[in-house]
Chain A
């Protein structure tokens, strides 16, 4: 079996005829597609304040983390451990409250957008 034999056989393959209703069926699908309402675009302008706020929150969190890391470097290992254990008790309620508020706010905004009231 040479390359030429392969070429000859594979080049002369018989094809199939489209069924008689194929073009009609494609055009029906295209018409349906054209009649369907255009998909709603993502409201970038409305989402922008939220995105900016999220970015700022992340930047703030990184800043705090950076400061804490630098502060921890000034203490001995034992002091750092004590500090790390004591910090969450002060911070947790604040963060939990903030997280709940952010969740509630995003939920309210989503429901408002979804119900079409803007």
Chain B
């Protein structure tokens, strides 16, 4: 089933959630009222599912991983020390879980060299309604990120998810900012080196079609 889509380009910044709302809900849960957790789930379900989706590219699995992240957050709620925003803590917990889940059962990987092959297959009839070249190229780029080695892929996924915020990325991945910057640079360099050839192949395939 093709997932219904929304624009989440600036997911975290766009979610206008007051920290006090999160804090109030957490205190409610810690006082024994589970219904407080419902507010947390409803506020953060979309970002957490979308982050998981960017890690695994599988809607069903993304929801399963997000559900597990919420459960772990519920279990560890008393460990949130309030020195950072609740969302920072939640994203770090979820990112950590997603990374270990994908290390345990890796997502279906496609080698950088084989991406053009996959892109040439239309996934959705809407893909062919104009803007074909742009869509295909953008799709190729996103898939290319997915084919990067894990340490670069994780940093790129989280960095763009957080609206290019290095600090938030470093906090989510529990890495020093310097390491994040170095991996970003290296990951982009690999992409820049591999993409031209990939896009030429793609363009050639489109002309053939």
Contacts and interface: CB of A to CB of B under 8 A. Distances in A.
A18 B46 contact: yes
Interface string A29-40: 111011000000
A16 B3 contact: yes
A25 B50 contact: no
B70 A15 contact: no
Nearest to B59: A16
B145 interface: yes
Nearest to A25: B67
B6 A30 contact: no
A34 B41 CA distance: 16
B167 interface: no
A4 to B, nearest CB: 11
Contacts of B42: 23
A13 B142 contact: yes
Contacts of A31: 34
Interface residues of B, number: 43
A11 to B, nearest CB: 6
Interface in B4-19: 4-9, 11
B164 A11 contact: yes
B8 A14 contact: yes
A13 B195 contact: no
B5 A30 contact: no
Interface string B168-209: 000000000000000000001001100110010000000000
A89 interface: no
Contact of B74 (A7, A9, A15, A33): A33
Task: Point out which of A11, A19, A30 has the most chain B C-beta atoms below 10 A from its C-beta.
Answer: A30
B192 A30 contact: no
Nearest to B145: A10
A17 interface: yes
B192 A22 contact: no
B91 to A, nearest CB: 15
Given A6-B191, A16-B62, A27-B38, A22 B49 contact: yes
A12 B71 contact: no
A33 to B, nearest CB: 6
Given A16-B3, A22-B49, A23-B45, A1 B63 contact: no
B119 interface: no
Nearest to A34: B34
Given A26-B71, A31-B34, A18 B45 contact: yes
Interface string B43-60: 001100110011000010
